[in-house]
Structure 1
Amino acid sequence: MHVGLVVYGELDGRSGGYRYDLELTRGLRAAGDEVTVVSLPERPYRKRLRDNVTSARRLRDLDVDVVLQDELCHPSLAAVNARLDDEVPVVSVVHHLNSVENHPPWRQHLRQTIETRYLRSVDAFVFNSETTRASVAAVADADPHVVAYPAGNRFSSHGAPLGDDEIRSRAVEGPLRVVAVGNLEPRKNIDGLLRALARLSGEWRLTVVGAPVDTAYEQSLHSLADELGVSDWVTFTGRLSDSDLATILRQSHLFALPSHYEGFGIAALEAMGFGLPALVSSAGGASELVTHRVDGFLVDPVDTASITDAVAPLCRNRRRLVTHSLAARDRFVEHETWDEMAQTVRSFLTTVVDHGG
């Protein structure tokens, strides 16, 4: 099978959907399929809309059995698919919808209109969670589809999953060490996390790992840490190599990223492999990964008190931390691997190709 994969920028190991696309490509190629990557330019949303003409030209020139499109590219593809060969099915890989994020009302309406037009132009879907499937089904026909959950086993060569003894011994060490992993942008709600941690009476440290994709937001976080008087307890590392990130995860006690919305939460799953309970938002697909008060915590991202209340007992009671940590590690072990995800998607693509979409 020859697959054309449409993405923004380079196909690399960035977090979230980029990691999903990379691992899927690796899995397809390992199974003997040919994958041709079509890289569209990354630019602001309005400029992406101008790329529909060049995108159509590039996709018409593809000689493939199926076109696989990362839904993130929808602004550059909203008017493209209707112009393509009807005999080549178009399958969209949906991580989460841009239009469910927080935007001013006029922008929300515009983006939902563009995104809905795109969603209605494809032949089939790959969803990263049932939550994402439901969000698409609310605005378009979501069939045929397959749900193929992301995996978290990229750190298998860096010690994940951790053993019981290491998890138990780590739990009693020093202040509660919290780690957040994600691009520095408002949707990730690092500001809400800072406000919640600042309310704690116990000692803690926060390490924030992620690229500063929104410079103004990054600067506001440093200002907020100063305002709250916790700047000495917070470290911003920027983006790290897998080896360096694995070291931080291995040394931490809790993963916390109460995003305003996540389609699933790959970073949380990766952290669970190191025995970190995952404090994540109840908004989005994290409830399909985390069982509240068992292997992590589901919190309202705008309720800082709920975040504080979830973290505070872990500062005081390290036995409780161990219980949650072991459960998080066990949840990771039970979860699908990237190879299994790729096999699920490949089987679905084969069916789509055989039936012509």
Structure 2
Amino acid sequence: MRVGLVIYGSLNTLSGGYLYDRMLVENLARAGHSVEIVSLPWRGYAAHLTDNFSSEVRRLLMRKRVDVWLQDEMNHPSLFRLNRDLRRLGGPPLLSIVHHLRSSENHPAVWMPLYRAVERAYLRSVDGWLFNSRTTRQTVEALTGQRRPAAVATPGGDRLMGAVPLGESEISSRCYQDGPLRVLFVGNLTPRKGLHFLLDALGRIPSANWQLDVVGRMNMKPAYTRSLMKTLQASPWKEQVRFHGALDQDELKAVYRSSQVLAVPSSYEGFGIVYLEGFSFGLPAVGTTYGAAGEVIGSGDSGLLIPPGDAPGLAAGLARLANDRGHLLTLSLGARRRYLTFPGWEASMNGARLWIESMAAGGGA
């Protein structure tokens, strides 16, 4: 089977969505299928809309000889109208990989009707949807008012630790180590990931009780990063925060292993691979109630779910973990147990591949 995959930029981009796409491509390749990447350049939203009228982009897609098209839903502004032309020509099935919707994010209210309309038109222009969570599926069906052939293949969390998570004895010993609560944030520095919210909450806790390690690309939203740094430098607890930038896998494993809780209070997550990866190290996760984080985190069992923007509530939850190490251990062991209930990458991507093969063969599953 010849597969075309449409993305923006490089498949090696550091993000959960691109990791999912890479894992799917690798699974397809292992099964003997060829995958050709069609990379459209990163530009602004308005510029992406003009791709629909670009003869160059049109020729690029129409000249490819593939049996099925996969499109990362992030590319929707470039394809919402162009897909209609591709379908009208009777080409191969168009399948969208949907991680989360732009219209689920926080944007200025004036732009939201446009974002919803373009995203709705795009999602209606494809033949099938591949989702990373039940929440994403429900969100898409609510936006479009339609159903399509679809599959849900959740991400795996075994990229770093494999099938066997960190042992209970090491987790227990780590929970009771002396010193401040070691909080870990893993995510690119963008407003959606909520580092500003986490810092607000931590600033309400005595600084002797916590330290924060921040892992992730710092150049995604330069203005946001500058604002964070300005806030931090003006704070009395700036020495409690360490920025590591992007780390390789071995470095990331070491940081996970030495931390005690993972806090990524995103305003929205389509799934939250980072929470599941943290579980493999026995780290309870702190997320928010909006989006699909609740499909991963069992609040009070393997972590905490806080309403977006509730800094006092987040501070109270983290303060309890710092002061009650028995509670920290309960959630840490709960995180380990919950990790074992999720399929790994291979099993999940096998299911995604079988669905794609069925759709390419005209199965319409």
Classify the secondary structure of the residue corresponding to 1:271.
Answer: helix
TM-score (norm 1): 0.96
1:8 partner amino acid: Y
Residue of 190, 193, 202 corresponding to 1:188: 193
TM-score (norm 2): 0.94
Deviations 1:143-195 (A, max 9, x none): 210011011111026x9611111111111222101111111111111111001
Q: Partner residue of 2:331?
A: 324
Q: Partner residue of 2:210?
A: 204
Contact 1:195 1:228 in 2 (8 A): no
Identity fraction in percent: 43
Per-residue deviation at 1:356?
A: 6.4
Give the alignment of 1:79-98 within 5 angstroms: 79-84=81-86, 85-98=89-102
- How many Å separate the matches in 2 of 1:338 and 1:13? 18
Contact 1:203 1:315 in 2 (8 A): yes
1:283/1:167 CA distance change after superposition, 3 Å: same
Q: Partner residue of 1:138?
A: 142
2:102 partner amino acid: N
1:235/1:282 CA distance change after superposition, 3 Å: same
Per-residue deviation at 1:13?
A: 5.7
Classify the secondary structure of the residue corresponding to 1:154.
Answer: coil
- Paired positions, count: 356
Classify the secondary structure of the residue corresponding to 1:4.
Answer: strand
User: Does residue 56 of the first structure (1) align with residue 61 of the second (2)?
Assistant: no
Q: Partner residue of 1:168?
A: 172
User: Does residue 229 of the first structure (1) align with residue 236 of the second (2)?
Assistant: yes
Q: Partner residue of 1:112?
A: 116
User: Does residue 77 of the first structure (1) align with residue 79 of the second (2)?
Assistant: yes
Q: Partner residue of 2:41?
A: 41
Deviations 1:203-240 (A, max 9, x none): 10111111121111111111222333221001121111
Contact 1:96 1:132 in 2 (8 A): yes
What 5-or-longer segments of structure 1 have no aligned partner? none
- How many Å separate the matches in 2 of 1:18 and 1:181? 15
Per-residue deviation at 1:250?
A: 0.6
Residue of 150, 154, 176 corresponding to 1:149: 154
1:2 partner amino acid: R
- How many Å separate the matches in 1 of 2:248 and 2:8? 21
Per-residue deviation at 1:59?
A: 1.3
Per-residue deviation at 1:61?
A: 1.1
- How many Å separate the matches in 2 of 1:313 and 1:112? 40
Classify the secondary structure of the residue corresponding to 1:228.
Answer: coil
1:31/1:13 CA distance change after superposition, 3 Å: farther
1:216/1:160 CA distance change after superposition, 3 Å: farther
Classify the secondary structure of the residue corresponding to 1:178.
Answer: strand
What 5-or-longer segments of structure 2 have no aligned partner? none
- How many Å separate the matches in 2 of 1:245 and 1:87? 43
Runs of 4+ that moved beyond 4 A: none
- How many Å separate the matches in 2 of 1:329 and 1:86? 48
Q: Partner residue of 2:248?
A: 241
Q: Partner residue of 2:299?
A: 292
